[in-house]
Structure formats: C-alpha cells, structure tokens
Copies of this chain bind each other. A is one copy, B any other.
Amino acid sequence: MNSINAVTKPKTNMMNAITQKLGPLLGLIILVVIVSILNPSFLEPLNILNLLRQVAINALIAFGMTFVILTGGIDLSVGAILALSSALTAGMMVSGIDPLLAILIGCILGGLMGMVNGLFITKGKMAPFIATLATMTIFRGLTLVYTGGNPITGLGDNYLFQLFGRGYFLGIPVPAVTMILTFVVLFIILHKTPFGRKTYAIGGNEKAALISGIKVPKVKVMIYSLSGMLAALAGAILTSRLNSAQPTAGTSYELDAIAAVVLGGTSLSGGKGRIFGTLIGALIIGTLNNGLNLLGVSSFYQMVVKGIVILIAVLLDRKK
C-alpha cells in the first residue's frame, strides 16, 4: 500500500498542479464545447469577434480589479467611475475637444477618482469595501448631476473615435486589441517587475510588507488609480460603442468584474491569483452571456444559470 502511494503521489500532485494552473481555462473550454454543441452558430467567426468585443469592457475593469483584490482590497466604485469619466469625456467632446485627447483626459480623470479611493483607504485607514461603496454613491450622484439624467449625444463623427469602440484592426475588433495589449502590459507588470511582487506581498502579509520597506500606501494608491484608469478606458470604449455617454452606464459592472477575478482563481483575501485567470474569467462570463442569449434562454433563467456556474467554478477551485 505504502509503496504504491509513494509512487502515485507525485503524479496526483502534478495533476493537481496542472488543474490548478488550468482550472479556469478548463472551465472555459467545457463551457465553449457545451454551448457550441447546443448552438453551432456560437463558433462562427463573427460571433467570436463579437464575443471578444463584448468581453473587452468587463475584462479591462477586471484587470484593474485583479490588482486591487491581490492586495486584499476591493473596488466597488469602478462602474461609477466608468459612468462619470464617460460622461466627462463625452462632455469634452461635445464642447469641441479632440476626441482622442478627451479620452486621454477621461482616463486621467478616472485615475484621479481611483486615487481618491486609494487615499481614503490608506490615509483614511478605511476598509476598501466601505470607502469604495461611499465613493460609488458619490460618483454616481455626480454623474447624474452632470448629465441631468440624460444621455450625452452628438459626439461628432471622428473616425478614430468611432474605430475605438466599433472598428477593426487587422480583422480584430479594436476593443479586443486594446484588451489584449493592456493584458500583456499588465501581465508583465504583475509577474515580471518588482511592482507586481509588491502587489502580492501586500495582499499576502501587509504588516510584513511594511516592515520589508515596501511603501504600502504608495503602492495601494497606485493600484486604485490603475483600477480607476482602466474603468475609464473601458468607459471610453463603451462611449464609442454607444456613440453616447449614458448616465447609468456601468451599473453593477463591479460585480461582473469581481466575478471574473474570482472565477479566474484569484483569492478574495489577497496575495494569491493570476491576471491570466482573470482574462479567462471574463471570457467565461462573456461566453455565458453570449451563449445563453444564443440559446434563447430567458433572462430570468440566465441569472440562475450564471449564479450556479459561479458557485460550481469556485467550489471546484476550492476543492483542489
């Protein structure tokens, strides 16, 4: 018995390691297979391109959320930041500022809003949950004040701006390109630079990180700013896609982003997880949304199915 065990152990260990690394990816593949069997049109190239485009917004927000969650925090304000920065960007465009410049400024403004979160959390020593819950309400309120509850339209017909959300680059939807480029940059930052290590270190053991000379407050402020900036970037894509800024844009996007991060295997208690997982997590959610639509599942049941998928995915992840 014992000798057999000794032999099999490394194997199961390796298996475990593989499923651990591939867990979310495996989930995605299973999902894709099921959906395409039930409705083959899912696999049509145009649908895949659409899917990628739809996923981009959630993925971008979830990338920022990954950093935040890795530090053991949470950012409930991303949806509100998206809405506010989108409204401000559209406002600038309407007032005649060059669209790409407006997007740039919008992203910076988003970053500043994130920075406000970061400062409340570090200087104000507030729990991230409650700090970003409060700023969420504030940013939402400000968006409504700024827009008067009406969408902002008349954004002109700048070609580059339209491309930004609706165009194709080398046959790939521009938002998907943006998402992939952002992913690559963030992947390198997270896994190949000291900043990334610090992110993990803060989430893994904040006190020890502080003692090790990591400027914890600075890193956190940067990470919440990054999260805000990415939300604003997602907002710019949305603005271009809708050719308008919606006052209620991004409602409950924070929950989708958090779900993507968690489905990707990142632990909500911080210090553990990977941004590649988040990409997969976002694709899982996107595939679910797209697939359930294609299958004609009523939106009521869609909610039930989505919740169950999240439960199962996380449970399987825990079991390993």
Contacts and interface: CB of A to CB of B under 8 A. Distances in A.
B314 A145 contact: no
Interface stretch (A7-15, A232-240, A305-313): A305-313
Nearest to A247: B300
Contacts of A133: 255, 258-259, 310
How many copies of this chain does the complex contain? 2
Contacts of A135: 307, 311
Contacts of A315: 120, 124, 126
A208 interface: no
Interface string A85-111: 000000000000000000000000000
Given A126-B318, A130-B268, A318-B126, A137 B310 contact: yes
A301 B124 contact: no
B126 A304 contact: no
A201 interface: no
A130 B310 contact: yes
A172 interface: no
Interface in A267-320: 267-269, 299-308, 310-311, 314-315, 318
A262 interface: yes
A209 interface: no
B125 A303 contact: no
A258 B142 CA distance: 22
Contacts of A145: 300-301, 304
A171 to B, nearest CB: 35
A203 B257 CA distance: 27
Given A124-B318, A125-B318, A303 B141 contact: yes
B269 A141 contact: no
Contact of A300 (B149, B258, B299): B149
15 contacts: A74-B129, A120-B311, A125-B318, A126-B318, A127-B268, A130-B259, A130-B310, A133-B255, A133-B258, A134-B307, A134-B308, A137-B303, A137-B307, A138-B307, A141-B306
